[in-house]
């Protein structure tokens, strides 16, 4: 492995090779080189059905991907809940829809166009029937969501042809 400081001695500030590295250039988009900064390299593959890798110089991939609902794996959520059983109890509530013999003036906030706003003259206080200690079980599930469509999941890449010098 080569230390970065050592490599800095091999190339000038413009990415051109010095001394025995003359003719070599850093691939940073200058001097006619491809800009490979922040990319991984992919070998050319003309036999792959994915044309992304068939042409030298092709680029692709994304640094970040935000999935759409269609790209999320199809899934659902289930839930369960249990209330605790407290002692014998009842519940109090106010009933403004039942008059018990009085003339009802429905307030306008109930959606009727008569009466006076916040008129609670016929509001009746009620209490549910007392019951013994009990609990409630609740369970269910959400509907399926997500379309399981494929999404781009490759980091930025650059297609090259790998070569090796074997000697004469």
Domain ranges of the chain: 78-141
Token pair, residue 139, equals 């369970």
Cβ pair 156, 39 in contact under 8 A? yes
- Please provide residue 134's backbone torsions phi and psi, each rounded to the nearest 5 degrees: -160, 170
Higher pLDDT, 168 or 138: 138
pLDDT in tens, 5-53: 777 788 888 888 888 888 888 888 888 888 888 888 888 888 877 788 8
Are the C-beta atoms of 43 and 36 separated by less than 8 Å? no
For residues 160 and 33, give the distance between their C-alpha atoms in angstroms, rounded to a whole number. 12
pLDDT, averaged across the chain: 75
Predicted confidence (pLDDT) per residue in 53-68, tens digit: 888 888 888 887 888 8
Contact 127, 54 (CB under 8 A): no
């Amino acid at each position: 492995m080569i230390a970065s400081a050592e490599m800095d001695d091999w190339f000038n500030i413009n990415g051109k090779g010095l001394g025995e590295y003359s003719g070599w250039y850093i691939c940073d988009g200058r001097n006619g080189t491809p800009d490979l900064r922040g990319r991984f390299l992919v070998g050319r593959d003309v036999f792959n059905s994915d044309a992304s890798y068939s042409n030298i110089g092709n680029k692709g991939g994304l640094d970040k991907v935000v999935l759409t609902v269609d790209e999320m794996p199809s899934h659902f959520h289930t839930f369960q809940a249990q209330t605790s059983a407290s002692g014998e109890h009842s519940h109090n509530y106010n009933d403004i829809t039942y008059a018990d013999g009085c003339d009802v003036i429905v307030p306008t906030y109930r959606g009727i166009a008569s009466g006076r706003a916040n008129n609670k003259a016929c509001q009746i206080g009620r209490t549910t029937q007392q019951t013994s200690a009990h609990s409630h079980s609740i369970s269910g599930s959400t509907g399926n969501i997500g379309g399981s469509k494929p999404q781009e999941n490759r980091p930025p890449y650059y297609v090259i042809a790998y070569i090796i010098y074997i000697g004469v």
